[in-house]
Amino acid sequence: MMYDCALFDVDGVLVDVRKSYNAAIKKTVEFMLKSIAGRSFRGLVTDPLIFRFRQSGGFNNDTDTTYAITLAMLAAAPKSVALGRRFLVNVAESADETGYLSVEKYLASYNIDKWKKLLAYPAPVKDSMVARLFDELFYGPEMFRKQNCMEPKYWSGGKPLIKNDRIAVSARTMKKLHNLFGGNLAIVSGRSRIAAEYSLKPVMKYFNIDACVFLEDEKREYAKPNTYAIRRAMEAMNAGSTIYAGDSAEDLLMARRAEKELGVKITFFGIYGNSPQPTKTVAMFKHQGVRAIAESVDQLPNTINKVLAI
């Protein structure tokens, strides 16, 4: 092998999150708008809209996306779902790798100070209604207590949305990759360790846990596309080269920055099968010059061999 290790994003790569994290964004926005504006705008947030925000390169954190959408709706106060969605598309198109900060900048002319103060974001879960509600809906009461060391406040019933996660890689593939890289496999993900271990339970044993980085559990400043996570993972495995399997613009941006900053070899593998808009994801990867593109991680062993043959 010409690579010392392999790194993997979780959401959209190892796990299909369209009915879990995406659903948490939708439900949190509806709850927030109903609580503050008196109207939920049911059906406002769609998977393609979420995709637009993610492709900006600054919305790896789904709570950021939730906040940005909620703030935009409160600021513009559209009269219908159609007008609201049209406005949100414009907001998403204006976003960049600075994430919610770029949205606040775009909305500056709407007198958003009162809404920013009310939403109190970003802030710890205990201080932010947006962050707290999102986690309560996603984790459910039991895991929320474990992750945040506090009791649920806004939602305590129903099925936790994390239960809608669907693992998107087979144990057979992970075992093959584990053997191929001599055990040097690690996760570099925006989710927490608790969430990753829950949804990846059948394959978690194949990862070097000491090299894994779960950015939800780290300082906010380390979020993608910051290169901190790749640096830490590669250092833990004493690696000078790696592949990185990701599904988004911020994954690609992080990998390319890390290659330059660290002086290491990183080959990006674009995964598109769990995207709400696979064709557009493939087009984005091709436009960015990604030479290794696969529908799923299950295709990775063969794709790696093809790349090595080039």
Cβ neighbors of 75 (< 8 A, separation 6 or more) are 107, 110, 111, 112, 115
* pLDDT score recorded for residue 194: 97
99: Cβ contacts below 8 Å, ≥ 6 apart: 56, 58, 59, 61, 64, 68
Confidence band for 6, pLDDT divided at 50, 70 and 90: very high
Residue 55 scores a pLDDT above 80: yes
Q: Is the pLDDT of residue 221 over 60?
A: yes
Angle formed at CA 12 by CA 7 and CA 13, multiple of 5 degrees = 35
If you count them, how many residues does the chain have?
310
Percentage of the chain exceeding pLDDT 90: 90
- Per the prediction, the chain carries an average pLDDT of 94
Q: How far is CA 6 from CA 9, 94, 147, 212, in A?
A: 10, 33, 27, 11
What is the arithmetic mean of pLDDT over 266-277? 95
| Region 38-43 average pLDDT | 91
Interval 33-46 mean pLDDT? 94
Beta pairing partners, 246: 270
pLDDT given at position 77: 94
Angle at 184 between CA 180 and CA 190, to 5 degrees: 120
pLDDT tens string 57-84: 889 899 999 999 999 999 999 999 999 9
Domain with CATH 3.40.50.1000 in the chain: 5-17+165-309
pLDDT in tens, 139-152: 999 999 999 999 99
Residue range 146-162: average pLDDT?
Answer: 92
* Dist. CA 9–CA 180, nearest whole Å: 19
Q: Give the max Cα distance, the chain.
A: 59
- Specify the pLDDT at position 304: 82
Note the pLDDT of residue 309: 58
Element (H, E) at 279: helix 278-287
Task: Label residue 2 by pLDDT band (50, 70, 90).
Answer: confident
The more confident residue out of 6 and 306 is 6
Q: What CATH superfamily is the domain 5-17+165-309? A: HAD superfamily/HAD-like (3.40.50.1000)
What would the mean pLDDT of 265-278 be, rounded to a whole number?
95
Whether 1 has a pLDDT exceeding 80, the answer reads no
- Select from 146, 96, 149, 134 the least CA-distant residue to 20: 134
pLDDT value for 310: 52
Residue with tokens 């949804």: 199
Q: What is the average per-residue pLDDT within 221-230? A: 94
